[in-house]
Homo-oligomer: A and B are copies of this chain.
Amino acid sequence: MTLSMLELEGAAGGSRFPLAQVLDALPWNSDGLIAAIAQQHRSGEVLMLAWMNRQALDETLASGRVCYWSRSRQRLWRKGESSGHRQRLIEAHLDCDGDAVLLIVDQQGPACHTGRPTCFYNAIEEDQVHILTAPLKEPAA
């Protein structure tokens, strides 16, 4: 049996579908990826946007530890593998057309590679960008 995301769009609240069939139906992009948003549980802070291929999503769901696909390194990227700043998966929700997944996580340490708590520290304020937080190491004075 083949599912389509359109069937899920019309599905009644409370209905359930087999996960494997839904994953087969996702519209992975030309690089085989979907977008993944990580959000801190409880606080609701949006931490980062990254990408997942099928293997990364499968591993994340199986292990409970978030694994992305690194587009720059072209390999699986187990978040925190070098920094120790891991993400424990709490919930995962696919969007209506299946090209994005929202990961509710418990982030250990800062989420951003700059050492900031979240990657979204560049606030647009009128005609300026305001850097809200300091990197882990301030530039030398």
Interface residues of A (CB under 8 A from B): 8-20, 22, 35, 37, 39, 43-46, 48-49, 61, 91-100, 102, 112-114, 116, 119-124, 126-135, 138-139
- Shortest distance between the CB of A26 and any CB in chain B (Å): 10
Instruction: Report the copy number of this chain in the oligomer.
Output: 2
Q: Tell me the bound Cα distance from A44 to B22 in angstroms.
A: 27
| 8 nearest CB pairs, A to B | A44-B44, A13-B134, A93-B120, A94-B122, A95-B119, A49-B100, A102-B120, A92-B124
Q: Tell me the bound Cα distance from A107 to B36 in angstroms.
A: 22
- Shortest distance between the CB of A28 and any CB in chain B (Å): 15
Q: Give A43's nearest chain B residue, CB to CB.
A: B44
- Shortest distance between the CB of A36 and any CB in chain B (Å): 10
- Shortest distance between the CB of A49 and any CB in chain B (Å): 4
With beta carbons under 8 angstroms apart, the residue of B37, B119, B130, B134 that contacts A16 is B130
With beta carbons under 8 angstroms apart, the residue of B97, B119, B131 that contacts A13 is B131
Q: Tell me the bound Cα distance from A119 to B99 in angstroms.
A: 11
Q: Tell me the bound Cα distance from A39 to B11 in angstroms.
A: 24
Q: Tell me the bound Cα distance from A27 to B15 in angstroms.
A: 40
Answer whether A102 and B46 are a contact pair too, CB < 8 Å, given A9-B114, A95-B119, A119-B96.
Answer: yes
**A12, B94: Cβ atoms closer than 8 Å:** no
- Shortest distance between the CB of A58 and any CB in chain B (Å): 11
Answer whether A131 and B8 are a contact pair too, CB < 8 Å, given A96-B114, A120-B93.
Answer: yes
